[in-house]
Amino acid sequence: MQSPPKLKPGDKIAIIATARKISTDEIKPAVEILQKWGFETVFGRNLFRENNQFAGTDNERTEDLQWALNDESINAILCARGGYGTVKIIDKIDFSKFSDKPKWIIGYSDVTVLHSHIHKNFEIETLHATMPINFPKNKEENESLISLRKALTEEKISYEITPHPLNKVGEADGVLVGGNLSILYSLSATKSDINTDGKILFIEDLDEYLYHIDRMMMNLKRSGKLANLAGLVVGGMSDMNDNTIPYGKTAVEIIKEAVEEYSYPVCFGFQAGHIADNKALILGRNAKLNVNNEVKLEFSNDLNSAKSLKNLLQQSKGIILAITALFAFIYLFLRLIKYLFG
């Protein structure tokens, strides 16, 4: 996985909407907070367009995302909100410039389409984190914002949470992937569908019927996405719905039942998703999950170290080749001397 460069004061963050529409009033607190952090904010040309529930037509939303991906002066892309609509434009996007020069893409909920597509096809880290629609109107930094700022500036982040009674203990080490369960389910068997083998899967959801949660978990199970996980992290399962005849289990009980046969650790109640305390998660980054009397999720900086080493080796390529050639010459010269005078 590639890690986009960290942000520094003066860097430019583009705010766009790939799904539901948003107003200037709704976005104002985010602009003020980001500027307070030292970043410059710029808007997609079509950010405040309206087309029924969408932030403009498919073509207008595509135009804004493509602009933000291609513009080399932009250092990060912050999706204004979720809703529905990103899947309608994902196949229109050219990611070639983005893959050559990655930048942070930030959001959650419907933005899971971008996370999943980018991980599957380009192996670039992205940020599952709060969005402008959720920035507090009083402009005070909450835990969600603090974790976002730390992730963007590459401060080491790790989380400790209170153990949930349904947790399955154990330790896991693997790349963190995932996002919104409904979106992951909708991407099954498409070119945006992620590979979960050997990875830590994160899922969360909002406003779903309980039997839908079971249907989606059965899809993940039958498609092999649950069998070979390193671990499972379950975030907010918020505002679930039930029928007149009760389903008989909560969302977390449904998930627990779906993974009961597997031996990897499972963490319930993680503070991320459609909840007030939506911690930033670096999707695509190697992480360690420890589920025991305490629960800890810690992200590794090893990938950044490896990236720095790779850059150093590339810069030293000429010197390395020259030294190799010199040793080869000396070796052949000594063999020749031994042959002539041996």
Kindly list the catalytic residues: 109, 204, 274
Buried b / exposed e along 241-270 (16+ C-beta atoms within 10 A): eeeeeebebebbbbbbebbeebebbbbbbb
Nearest to 276 by CA among 136, 162, 177, 158: 136
Cross-strand bridge partners of residue 2: 124
Nearest to 14 by CA among 67, 51, 88, 60: 67
The interaxial angle of helices 317-341 and 302-315, nearest 10 deg, is 60
Nearest to 275 by CA among 238, 250, 240: 238
Measured in residues, the chain has a length of 342
Q: For the chain, state the CA radius of gyration.
A: 23
Q: Find all residues with CB under 8 Å of 321, minimum gap 6, and list them.
A: none
> HEC string of 17-50?
CCCECCCHHHHHHHHHHHHHCCCEEEECCCCCCC
